[in-house]
């Protein structure tokens, strides 16, 4: 008898959980197509499946082919609207606090810390963000800050002297720490910067012609300066090709693949209902590798940014947008540009083992990106 009661209790709990999982589907009409997957887990496991960073991955490819660029799903324990649509992504990012609110899952909150800018909302967010912007403005492109970035890049590369093989990911992690410890430590930003450097070394390392063009640009800058003279803000402004390479690294690297938002009020967008209380996930990375926005999207082609001094637009948003636009974007670009300057002037490198950047929640090189260094003499 006890067993029967226990079974009945368990069956009722399971039925209630199943009902709770699918109930949101019955409550709303006009939702985009899509599937809620399995009770409890929804489609989260498939969604988190790793894939090369310059592709959308099997899950999104299949879902977009079946349902279109905006679809419903059940992810991270919540009903969700997934957007691989540049217009909707832009709309969501630019309606922060009015219609949507930043809302990261527990695991990410734990990594970031409860007082991280990305975790707090409302007044507290405004306070932390303005403190951050003030810090960034105090470094900006000021000569002293730029010189300290130069010094860090120079000393990191000098520390490789005599070494034939390095694990690049490990080395890259040392770089931003030296540069802006305070700023970086506020948002685990050091991880994103070092990942960008690894992505650049990976993609550039596969293309001798890109290395040659980079070298040409940096040799021309160095020719105007003494051997050990630090780089200046003016030098940075001359690094036009380098910035195209960096943009292409951001596009193919998709370091922040998506952002997390909660819907505050029911929204109707292009005929779809996006219900209050659901999650909405703008997948920034999906737009970056969409062939209708970027020709041959899997190819690393810095030339695609030629003539576009500010390639912001809706189809390229590696730093997000709106109220939460990444305040570290300019710092990251200076760091990457100066690092590339000293790298291409001092070394050639090879990757004997293939170690593709894989995107889970974050980008990862499984083997730590081992590279073989050949110093450039003279």
> Which residues contact ligand HEM by CB under 6 A?
102, 117-118, 129, 132, 183-184, 186-187, 189, 192-193, 196, 255-256, 259, 318-320, 324, 326-328, 331-332
Nearest residue to 73 (alpha-carbon basis) of 64, 81, 65, 83: 81
Q: Which two tokens stand for residue 292?
A: 């209708």
- Whose Cβ is closer to ligand HEM: residue 36's or residue 132's? 132
Smallest gap from Cβ 371 to ligand HEM, in A, equals 20
Min. distance of Cβ 271 from ligand HEM in angstroms?
25
**Toward ligand HEM, which CB reaches closer, 151 or 191?**
191
Closer to ligand HEM at the Cβ: 31 or 146? 146
- The residue (of 129 and 238) whose beta carbon lies closer to ligand HEM is 129
| Residue 210 or 259 having the CB closest to ligand HEM | 259
Smallest distance, ligand HEM to C-beta of residue 220, A = 26
CB closer to ligand HEM, 31 vs 187: 187
CA–CA distance, 181 with 113 (Å, rounded to integer): 17
Nearest to 249 by CA among 194, 208, 313: 194
Q: How far is the CB of 279 from ligand HEM (least distance, A)?
A: 12
Residue closer to ligand HEM, measured from CB, 55 or 103 = 103
CB of residue 140 to ligand HEM, shortest distance in Å: 13
Q: Closest CB to ligand HEM belongs to which residue?
A: 328
Tokens of 303: 């030339």
**Closer by beta carbon to ligand HEM, 121 or else 346:** 121
* Residue 224 Cβ vs ligand HEM, minimum distance, rounded to whole Å: 29
Question: Minimum CB separation from ligand HEM for residue 303, in Å?
Answer: 21
Q: Which of 165, 213, 219, 185 is CA-nearest to residue 374? A: 165
Please report how close the Cβ of residue 366 comes to ligand HEM at its closest, in angstroms.
20
Q: Which of 189, 150, 195 is nearest to 172 (CA)?
A: 195
> What is the four-CA torsion angle of 354, 359, 360, 363, rounded to 10 degrees?
80
Which one, 127 or 165, has the nearer CB to ligand HEM? 127
Say which residues have a Cβ less than 8 Å from residue 122's Cβ, sequence separation at least 6: 97
- Please tell me the distance from the alpha carbon of residue 316 to that of residue 293, in angstroms, as a whole number: 9
Least Å from the CB of residue 337 to ligand HEM = 12
Query: Could you give the CA distance from residue 156 to residue 216 in angstroms, rounded to a whole number?
Result: 22
Look-up: residue for tokens 């932390």? 128
CA distance 92 to 103: 13
């Amino acid at each position: 008898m006890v067993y029967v009661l226990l079974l009945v209790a368990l069956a009722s709990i399971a039925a209630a959980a199943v009902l709770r999982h699918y109930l949101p589907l019955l409550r709303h009409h006009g939702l985009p197509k899509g599937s809620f997957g399995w009770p409890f887990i929804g489609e989260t496991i498939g969604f988190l499946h790793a894939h090369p960073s310059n592709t959308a991955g099997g899950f999104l490819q299949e879902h977009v082919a079946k349902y279109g660029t905006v679809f419903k799903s059940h992810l991270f324990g919540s009903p969700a609207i997934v957007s691989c649509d540049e217009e909707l992504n832009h709309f969501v990012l630019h309606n922060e606090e009015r219609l949507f609110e930043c809302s990261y899952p527990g695991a990410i909150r734990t990594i970031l810390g409860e007082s991280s800018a990305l975790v707090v909302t409302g007044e507290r967010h405004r306070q932390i963000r303005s403190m951050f912007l003030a810090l960034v403005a105090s470094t900006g492109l000021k000569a002293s800050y730029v010189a300290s970035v130069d010094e860090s890049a120079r000393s990191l590369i000098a520390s490789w002297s005599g070494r034939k093989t390095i694990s690049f990911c490990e080395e890259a992690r040392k770089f931003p720490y030296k540069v802006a410890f305070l700023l970086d430590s506020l948002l685990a930003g050091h991880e994103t910067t070092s990942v960008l450097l690894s992505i650049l070394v990976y993609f550039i390392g596969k293309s001798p012609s890109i290395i040659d063009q980079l070298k040409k640009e940096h040799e021309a800058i160095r020719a105007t300066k003494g051997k050990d003279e630090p780089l200046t803000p003016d030098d940075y402004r001359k690094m036009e090709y380098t910035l195209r390479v960096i943009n292409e690294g951001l596009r193919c690297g998709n370091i922040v693949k998506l952002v997390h938002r909660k819907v505050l009020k029911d929204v109707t967008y292009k005929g779809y209902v996006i219900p209050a209380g659901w999650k909405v996930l703008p997948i920034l990375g999906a737009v970056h590798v969409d062939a209708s926005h970027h020709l041959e999207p899997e190819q690393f082609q810095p030339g695609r940014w030629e003539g576009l001094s500010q390639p912001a637009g809706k189809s390229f948003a590696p730093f997000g947008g709106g109220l939460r636009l990444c305040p570290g974007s300019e710092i990251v670009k200076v760091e990457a540009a100066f690092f590339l300057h000293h790298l291409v002037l001092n070394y050639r490198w090879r990757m004997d083992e293939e170690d593709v950047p894989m995107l889970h929640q974050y980008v990862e090189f499984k083997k730590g990106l081992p590279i073989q260094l050949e110093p450039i003499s003279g």
